[in-house]
Amino acid sequence: DQQVKQNSPSLSVQEGRISILNCDYTNSMFDYFLWYKKYPAEGPTFLISISSIKDKNEDGRFTVFLNKSAKHLSLHIVPSQPGDSAVYFCAASAGYGQNFVFGPGTRLSVLP
């Protein structure tokens, strides 16, 4: 059973609009979360992180929200750009020194 779920395999958004990518987790011990972005034929690259002591972290057009009680986090991209088209992975860790568990990914397509 997957501990980190990204229930939308794909998402299409118009350029300039908001993209919202969702991630749910089942392990209540997870307290540190990362989002990665992956282009075809490349390795994933780190995008943004959040720890459980916060409920929001913002970096430019990217904002991650964490709802600990719901075991849910989301990545918001505003405004979306065609270059944001990629696969986005959510990853969770149960603390320092613990390995990350990755979700299956969501393929985002930003249409011009």
Partner 1 sequence: IAGITQAPTSQILAAGRRMTLRCTQDMRHNAMYWYRQDLGLGLRLIHYSNTAGTTGKGEVPDGYSVSRANTDDFPLTLASAVPSQTSVYFCASSLQGAGEQFFGPGTRLTVL
Residue 57: count of CB within 10 angstroms of its CB = 16
> Closest approach of Cβ 58 to partner 1, in Å?
17
Distance of alpha carbon 85 from alpha carbon 2, whole angstroms: 25
> Closest approach of Cβ 81 to partner 1, in Å?
22
Residue number, 97 or 112, with CB nearest to partner 1: 97
> Closest approach of Cβ 15 to partner 1, in Å?
27
Phi-psi region of 95 (alpha: psi -120 to 50; beta: other; left: phi over 0): left
Residue number, 96 or 112, with CB nearest to partner 1: 96
